[in-house]
Structure formats: structure tokens, C-alpha cells
Amino acid sequence: MGRIFAIMSGKGGVGKSTLSAALAEYYARRGKSVVLLDGDIGLRCADLMLNMQDRVIYDLGDLAEKNCERSQALVQHPQWPNLRLLAAPQMIHASDLKKKEVGRIITQLSEETDVLLLDAPAGVGRGLKNLLGAAAEPVIVATPDDVCLRDAERLSAMLFEKEEPRPVIVFNRVQKKLVRRGEMPAPAQMAQALDLPLMGVIPESPNIYRALLRHQSALACGDKKVVRAIEGLAARLLGEDAPLEAYASSPVLRFFTRGGEA
């Protein structure tokens, strides 16, 4: 049975799907068999991020309703044949899917793949709950702002109530310069406040958006710091030794920042 990671977030717009697609491509590049399941019912985007939008015929809804075979719903990546996508349905609601059927599909996929990535919908609604209870390891993606941190805390509390495995946290769009100046909390500090293990820190980079416009993953953005951060996160998720880059504030820069605001 392969590893199952549920990539989730307390709110939308934090880069969760971007990170899911990048992790899927990275594991495929390393020769692992990978399935990316887009669980965002009605708002699918993983097919666009992997440049596979013209290949999708059947989706998760079709598979759950037994309107197709599993081999028909799993779309093979054109460049990495060991990476397959199970797209989210566009024209139904999350409540239309039966949690039991989704769980059955997740279990079957995990038995035939090395890494199964569940790109969960944002928030704590029915769409997310359809994916719970399937032995997935929760990975919460958050940005370093108070609103997102509050939503991440709420999501973590919900997972605890549902007796899901303890989640880990990944902070996206972190700006080292702002951390050093004391304008942005250090990732380790935020993780400690949430009482969650810090699994990864992805730096802010305009190159990621440019890659998305080209329908490429963040691994193709050309920013070496971003690529190293994603590769390190992918390794740590599998239990491999990959040190986290240090992010810490500078007392000197904090002093001058406060002085400039006085």
C-alpha cells in the first residue's frame, strides 16, 4: 500500500493545488508511480496545472457512479507516464458523492501506486469530509497571515475531532526579507503557535505565477529556491532527511524597521 497525502487548507487561494501538482510531478520524476486525485468538486484545476485539460473524459464522479472503468478515469501524463490524474467532476455537488464510494476508490488507488496525493477542497465542508477516514496523512498549506493561520487552526481542530492523523503544516509564499525585518512571523514560530510539525516552507516567487500561465508546474518556474523547497518538502513527507532552510528575524533589522515607523 502506498503513502496517501491529503493536501488541504483552511481557506482558498493559498497555493494548495499548485503545491499538489508540483509534488505529483516531483515524485513521478523520481520514478515513483503517482496518482493525483482532484477532490475539489465543481472547481477542478489539477488538469490545468498539469496541462492535461484536453485529455480528461471521465472523472471521479463517473468512477464513483460506476459509469466507467478505473483505467478510463485515470489520465496518464504526457511526459511522465507513471503520473496519472483523476479529475474532479465539474457539474455535480460534493453532496452528490457518497463518502463510502470515494473511500473505496482511494483505498484501491493506494494499493496500486507508490504515492497518492489528494488535492482536497479548501475549508471544512462536505467536499473535504468525503476524503477523510481513508488513512490519509493530512498536510495543511497556509500563508503567513492572521486570517489564514486562524483557518488553519480551525481545520486542525476539526481533524482532531474526527480522530484523523495529526496534520503537518507547510507555509507558502514566505518572504525571508520580511521575516528578517520582523514584519512576517518566522515559520517555526507560526508552527509552534499552531502546535503542528513544520514540514516545509515555500518562498514567495513571481516565477510560480508565470509557470502557471504556461500550464507548467512550480518545478518549472526557474526559481532554484522554490524548486529546492519543494524537493525538500517531498523528501521529508516520505521520511527522508532533508534539512529545512532557516528563517529567523534579525534584531538589527527589527530595530531599524521600528525606527522607520516611529
Domains in the chain, CATH or no CATH each = 3-261 (3.40.50.300)
β partners of residue 170 = 141, 200
User: Taking residues 163-169, what's their average pLDDT?
Assistant: 94
Q: Is the pTM of this model over 0.85?
A: yes
Q: List, for residues 40-87, the tens digit of each pLDDT value.
A: 887 888 998 899 989 999 999 899 989 999 999 999 999 999 999 999
Residues in the chain: 262
Indicate whether 213 pLDDT > 70. yes
The alpha carbon dihedral of 23, 25, 31, 33 has a sign of: positive
Average pLDDT over residues 233-252: 87
Please give the pLDDT value at position 262: 38
Q: What integer pLDDT is reported at residue 80 of this predicted model? A: 93
Q: For position 251, what pLDDT does the model report?
A: 62
Residue 9: pLDDT band (50, 70, 90) is very high
Q: Is the pLDDT score of 177 beyond 80? A: yes
* Position 250 confidence tier, pLDDT thresholds 50, 70, 90: low
> In the prediction, which pLDDT does 257 show?
54
Tell me if 163 sits within 8 A of 133, measured CB to CB.
no
Q: How far apart (Å, rounded) are the C-alpha atoms in residues 183 and 249?
A: 9
Residue 260: per-residue pLDDT: 47
Q: In whole angstroms, what is the distance from residue 206 CA to residue 175 CA?
A: 12
The sheet that has 198-203: what strands, in order across it? 74-76, 83-86, 34-38, 115-119, 3-8, 137-142, 168-174, 198-203
Calculate the alpha carbon distances from 249 to 74, 176, 193 in Å.
46, 9, 16
> Who wins on pLDDT, 109 or 90?
109
Percent of the chain whose pLDDT exceeds 70: 95
Looking at the predicted structure, is the pLDDT value of residue 236 above 90? Answer: yes
Distance in angstroms (rounded) separating the CA atoms of residues 163 and 231 = 29
| Cα–Cα distance, 86 to 39 (Å, whole number) | 9
Amino acid identity of residue 203, one-letter, is P
What phi and psi, each to the nearest 5 degrees, are found at residue 15?
A: 95, 20
What span, in angstroms and rounded, lies between the C-alpha atoms of 180 and 195? Answer: 23
Looking at residue 14, the DSSP 8-state letter turns out to be S
So what's the pLDDT on residue 258?
A: 53
Helix axes 146-161, 187-194, angle to 10 degrees: 40
**Closest to 19 in 3D by CA, of 186, 241, 227:** 227
Alpha-carbon distance values, 159 to 148, 156, 198, 229 (Å)? 16, 5, 17, 26
